[in-house]
Structure 1
Amino acid sequence: MSTPFILDHVTILSGDREGSTIDDAMIVVDSAGKITAAGPRAGIQKPAGCRYIDGGGRFAAPGLINAHAHLFSDGKPLPAFMTSEKAEHLVAKFMHSKPGELLLNKRTKTNVLTQMNSGVTTIRSLGDARYEAVRVRDAIERGDYLGPRVYPSGPLLAMPGGHGAPQIALCSTSPAEAAQQVRDNLAAGTTAIKIAATGGVTDAREIGQAGTPEMPEEQMRAICETAHEAGIIVAAHAQSAEGIAMALRAGVDTIEHGAGMNEEIIALFKDNPNSLRGSSALIPTLQACLPLVKLDPKVTGINEIVRANAEMIYEEMLAGIRDALEHGITIGMGTDSALTHVTHYNTWREMDYVHRYGGLTRAHALHAATQANAQLLGIDAITGSIEAGKDADLVVLDANPLAAGFRAFENPFLVATRGQVIQQPKVKRFADLDAKLDSF
């Protein structure tokens, strides 16, 4: 149970595509953490016995939803030897050991709480070493400590030697084996499933490997059918038109990263009979590529192969965003947190990037991170907007991000997750890393 509270004298940001607001508003939250009233303060009676918080003319936005997170690292660049082909099996062996499990549990908890204190009240984790995010989710739901809503995937599902393997993936070579891995993940408590449909940037060993199709369509179809039977949507790492088309035909619900689209892809995004809800959505993650493209490799520590793949995939992601905008395809928001230069407190940068580089209006970028993400995750009845009957997932800001820019999220005045209030939340920042990101 939470302490009932009144948040008074705020402007409510709806999170819709148009950027609608309610000026001089009041929000009332009950002991169950539910919003009982939200609207013009003149029309709302203050209930007795509530904690009173004067918003002082600030701006209340829906809690952010990060639909593509990783939680195993903090976003600081890794030493070069840690990402080498020779070291990958040693790293995987440690991550899957008991000391590695303890370390990952601690990191995951820290990173989840960092996201919460930066305004993220819902996280979908898409690629864990094992089931550390499940354990953290369970601790939060038991009430061991305050945390956001977490939807963990456990290890992603990949081909042997494919993207994410062996560190954060289970590998299969047949549809039956892949379907069993879905069942195993769900039995372990996961509530999300992710496929590596194509090669990726950070573990590419050849120029052009990122985006190369890896998992056969029939194998992905077995994964989707098994997950959908349990009511679970499936995400696919896909960075080429060929890989995206295969994944969508198989029934994938969200395409992560994306690429330029053809007529078949556009049609499948809008009407996908094999997806769980009849359509699919795009979740670009510009933070994962932009620093690798914009910063000198001496700064990022990446080799020429990774840099070339990053440049290629960055252009493909921009093309995918343009096509999605042109054809009315749902766009969500995910950060790819934990990857190099993608911290857990910089979710605001993804909204800023899709606005400045991807062409979304600020209102659309906030919509992607709130209402759209809630809808595509199937949780729009409980979160994603500030409305009576929904959970009190809120971020209160000193400035209006739709006018002043998304850096307004950098230091929230208040964060509430399911009605639990954190006033003046703090996060640990990496000044050197932030200065590099600020440079572009």
Structure 2
Amino acid sequence: MKYAIKNAIVLDGTREMVPQDDVIVLVNEDRIEAIVPSSYDTKGYEDLNLQGQYLMPGLINLDVHLPFSGKVSKRQMNPITKTKMATALPLTRKMTMKKCIEAAKTQLMSGVTTIRTTGGIEDFDTKIRDFVSDHTVVGPRIIAANKAISVPGAPLAGSLAYEVNSDEEVAMYVHKLAEEGVDYIKIVITGDMHEPDDEPGVLKMPASYVRTAVINAHELGLKVTAHVQGQIGLSVALDNKVDVIEHGSVLSKGMADTFKTNPSVAVCTISPTIPYAYLDESQTFASADAHHAGKVILRGMSEGAKACIAHRIPVGLGTVSGSPFVTHYDMWRELVYFTHYCHVDNNFALHTATCVNAKILGKEFSIGTIESGKCADLIVTKNNPLDDLSALRDLSYVITKGQIIETPRSNVILTLIRS
């Protein structure tokens, strides 16, 4: 299918993007064929007239857990029990797979055209990635990690992560995941705000395990992404050349240089901390310790991200979709939080959620900006997100690999009803 996107105000995703209202974007199948002047003769192309709406690259979410919805109740089921139930029978496995597919579709319909999964059930993530790739299901582009690697007492252990007790087991699971065709290896280095420790972000994974995971992954041509909160965990991750630091902390002396030398990048994930930093315990059903931890982690993460930006270290964005209170349709909020807590402007936030995130994934030559030859992963808003990022809530179109989806908001509602 060949079509010409006309009468659009184009935001191309670059750092210095400015609205362009004098161009036409030509799409041929799944690619942006060319960007031409508005006077160009588009004979042979179907017209998609946006009537003055805003066209930009699709958002990219770097931290997604497909099996969980973000819904919170007073009596939360243990995640290990929940995961075991989800895979216990052929019927429950089928239902769980369907739920994960619907979660991925919800991400897409809310404007996220690429997701990176960071801990899931068995090999469901790579299977869904392949279903989307061969057009069996509708969904975003997926960079898949499948199950993470964790240790006893650490986040995700026994649910969305393998629980390891030796360097040999770490190496075994890295190779197992590689055989499943993952795009990344995810490890869990520290605790988080849901752990009972007195201080958030306590070191959980021994440094030797981290080193083993990185060495084995790199030998297999895979990068390592790690759950890290607190300075000690951040130091262990950087010293052992972890590629992507999720969450992060305040940078101590010399850390910025280590980031650059490795090189490592950071992914800021403010969304999960907000409920615990600001809501009442009666609303979150969480302990006072969890609320204290939420505030500490929010402060450390935002200060760390600001320091990275100041030192020109790439900082990406993710939501940790599926964690408590974080749904699969809230990526726009992460951009708003990023501007508020990390003191960046709307341009920088949108640039980060598109172009920078694409570079972190190593996909900068195919997605992340509106350029000739890149994939036609695009979204359309009625209002200008550079003026107000909440404009990203109200999408007129989502275009994924050239496929046009009109009024995606209604698709989100129907998907949630089915779920």
Same fold (TM over 0.5): yes
Structure 2 counterpart of 1:45? 41
- Against the structure 1 CA distance between its residues 341 and 89, is the aligned structure 2 distance closer, same or farther, given a 3 Å change threshold? closer
Task: Compute the displacement of 1:39 (Å).
Answer: 4.4
Structure 1 counterpart of 2:389? 406
Alignment check: 8 A CA contact 1:245 1:264 kept: no
Task: Compute the displacement of 1:103 (Å).
Answer: 2.8
Match 1:300 to one of 273, 281, 284: 284
Alignment check: 8 A CA contact 1:65 1:373 kept: yes
How far apart, in 1, do the equivalents of 2:94 and 2:211 lie?
34
How far apart, in 1, do the equivalents of 2:309 and 2:319 lie?
19
Comparing 312-321 and 14-23, the one that deviates more = 14-23
Q: Secondary structure at the match of 2:386?
A: helix
Structure 1 counterpart of 2:417? none
Task: Compute the displacement of 1:88 (Å).
Answer: 4.7
2:127 aligned with 1:139, yes or no?
A: no
2:125 aligned with 1:128, yes or no?
A: no
How far apart, in 1, do the equivalents of 2:125 and 2:18 lie?
35
Q: Secondary structure at the match of 1:37?
A: strand
Alignment check: 8 A CA contact 2:358 2:368 kept: yes
Alignment check: 8 A CA contact 1:126 1:156 kept: yes
Match 2:56 to one of 57, 61, 73: 61
Matches within 5 A, 1:176-215: 176-202=168-194, 204-208=195-199, 210-215=200-205
Alignment check: 8 A CA contact 1:19 1:402 kept: no
Q: Secondary structure at the match of 1:251?
A: coil
Match 1:13 to one of 5, 11, 14: 11
Matches within 5 A, 1:321-360: 321-360=305-344
Alignment check: 8 A CA contact 2:214 2:224 kept: yes
How far apart, in 2, do the equivalents of 1:96 and 1:387 lie?
43
Structure 2 counterpart of 1:23? 21
Alignment check: 8 A CA contact 2:339 2:345 kept: yes
Match 1:76 to one of 66, 71, 80: 71
CA deviations on 1:242-268 (whole Å, 9 max, x unpaired) are 111111221211111111001322111
How far apart, in 1, do the equivalents of 2:234 and 2:104 lie?
29
Task: Compute the displacement of 1:399 (Å).
Answer: 0.9
Task: Compute the displacement of 1:140 (Å).
Answer: 1.2
Alignment check: 8 A CA contact 1:121 1:417 kept: yes
* Equivalent AA in structure 1 for residue 313 of structure 2: I
Q: Secondary structure at the match of 1:401?
A: coil
Match 1:418 to one of 390, 394, 401: 401
Task: Compute the displacement of 1:360 (Å).
Answer: 1.5
Match 1:361 to one of 345, 350, 354: 345
Task: Compute the displacement of 1:135 (Å).
Answer: 1.9
CA deviations on 1:334-362 (whole Å, 9 max, x unpaired) are 01111111111111000011012221211
* Equivalent AA in structure 1 for residue 210 of structure 2: M
Matches within 5 A, 1:164-179: 164-179=156-171
CA deviations on 1:124-148 (whole Å, 9 max, x unpaired) are 0001122222221121122112221
* Equivalent AA in structure 1 for residue 350 of structure 2: L
Task: Compute the displacement of 1:23 (Å).
Answer: 2.4
Aligned-pair identity (%): 31
How far apart, in 2, do the equivalents of 1:262 and 1:206 lie?
22
Alignment check: 8 A CA contact 1:240 1:259 kept: yes
How far apart, in 2, do the equivalents of 1:143 and 1:88 lie?
31
Task: Compute the displacement of 1:79 (Å).
Answer: 3.9
Alignment check: 8 A CA contact 1:80 1:302 kept: no
How far apart, in 1, do the equivalents of 2:74 and 2:219 lie?
42
- Against the structure 1 CA distance between its residues 92 and 76, is the aligned structure 2 distance closer, same or farther, given a 3 Å change threshold? closer
Alignment check: 8 A CA contact 2:109 2:412 kept: no
Number of residues paired by the alignment? Answer: 412
How far apart, in 1, do the equivalents of 2:223 and 2:36 lie?
33
Alignment check: 8 A CA contact 1:162 1:196 kept: yes
CA deviations on 1:5-33 (whole Å, 9 max, x unpaired) are 111111211212223332222111112x1
Matches within 5 A, 1:94-113: 94-98=85-89, 99-113=91-105
Matches within 5 A, 1:256-275: 256-272=246-262
How far apart, in 2, do the equivalents of 1:91 and 1:351 lie?
31
* Equivalent AA in structure 2 for residue 424 of structure 1: T
Q: Secondary structure at the match of 1:53?
A: strand
Could you tell me the TM-score, scaled by structure 2's length?
0.94
How far apart, in 2, do the equivalents of 1:416 and 1:100 lie?
32
- Against the structure 1 CA distance between its residues 77 and 170, is the aligned structure 2 distance closer, same or farther, given a 3 Å change threshold? same
Superposed CA RMSD: 1.7
CA deviations on 1:296-351 (whole Å, 9 max, x unpaired) are 12112212222121121111112112211221211101011111111111110000
CA deviations on 1:63-90 (whole Å, 9 max, x unpaired) are 11111111112222144341xxxx4543
How far apart, in 1, do the equivalents of 2:10 and 2:117 lie?
28
Alignment check: 8 A CA contact 1:123 1:149 kept: yes
Could you tell me the TM-score, scaled by structure 1's length?
0.90
How far apart, in 2, do the equivalents of 1:421 and 1:231 lie?
34
2:147 aligned with 1:155, yes or no?
A: yes
Which ranges in structure 2 are unaligned for 5 or more consecutive residues?
A: 415-419
Which ranges in structure 1 are unaligned for 5 or more consecutive residues?
A: 273-278, 431-440
2:294 aligned with 1:310, yes or no?
A: yes
* Equivalent AA in structure 2 for residue 219 of structure 1: Y
Task: Compute the displacement of 1:231 (Å).
Answer: 2.5
Q: Secondary structure at the match of 1:374?
A: helix
Structure 2 counterpart of 1:36? 33
